[in-house]
Structure 1
Amino acid sequence: MAGLECKYLALFFMLLVWGGGNAEEDEMAPAMFIFGDSLIDNGNNNNLPSFAKANYFPYGIDFDDGPTGRFSNGYTMVDQIAQMLGLPLIPAYTQASGSEVLHGINYASAAAGILDVTGRNFVGRIPFNQQIRNFENTLDQLSDQLGGPDQLADSIARCIFFVGMGSNDYLNNYLMPNYATRNQYNSQQFANLLIQQYTRQLNGI
């Protein structure tokens, strides 16, 4: 099963590379909605009382606008995917306004996890559950802009959803000495907890 999933993932990226990369081509999807952590956060933590921020140098040294909140020197993987899809850079949820939401939103937040308690050592962050609630708020905006629920449903069915979540639930939760998680669950129990929660969350999007 894992091998089959890898083949589908490889095929997906091959199609992106083959079909994308030309700014003059039509968009391959109307929008992309992004959920995740610091690997793809593009500024949602900038105004939070958080230790998990990247809106200062040397972050962004190769980015035209300088530091933006991305935990990288330039584009993140979702920026590259957006380009391949023929989309503009997807704005952060905390910065998007007006018609910008029509091409999608990035809800990712550094230190976020599947579990709400994950990443609390960094103080401010937007857990996956809250990212999903933020997406629901966006759907209300999109429904108004697109002309109603039927038009929204048609558009959403053709959109790309990117979810990259879970590493912080180990790095900034289970493996941290100041969390009680390891005393409550053995490794298999904790993995099962994450899988169950993640499944509910993904089904709720």
Structure 2
Amino acid sequence: MFFYQDQEISMRLLEPRDARSLYLLIQRSREHLREWMLWVDSTKTEEDSMAFIQGAMQQAMQNNGFQAGIWSHGELVGIIGTHQIHWIDRTVSIGYWLGEGYQGKGIMTKACKAVIHYLFEDCGLHRIEIRAAVDNLKSRRIAERLSFSLEGILRQCEWLGDRFTDHCVYALLQPEYMKEKTHSMNQPT
């Protein structure tokens, strides 16, 4: 199962004990998250957060991906996880979000690096996708910073409350990841 910890952040699978913290984080960032996350409006109570966590636990038990909390200095600051893993094709897409006050600190880039490492090296996957609304520049920058290639644009593929949005599709292949990893290890410090 996925777990990560360093001096700045830790990540672990969500558990029922996290429902209140998750709900409060969503409450504090509701307006901020609503711009890109349609599910925000259906998260109205702590029980809704509990239902999400129970679904995430089921997802992990079925070996179909995971949802992990991201903690910084002991405080839940965001979520990162996978959508359904396609084991035959060895592909998956990842999704993530941070509470409003935690962006711009490198937290999500570090979290994504740990998840990418896990998916390629521990799970043996071949392709990871990140999809982001064309106008969601912060999310797109994360994919670009992590050497994902922009493969195309899905036109009007998501309804965000009052409009259809186009999505950028980014992907990173396992051989590209290994090449980048080898290259960075050979760089002088």
Settle same-fold status: TM greater than 0.5.
Answer: no
**TM-score of the aligned structures, taking structure 1 as reference length:** 0.29
Greater share of strand residues, 1 or 2? 2
Look at both structures and tell me which one has the larger radius of gyration over its CA atoms.
1
Higher relative contact order (CA 8 A, sep 6+): 1
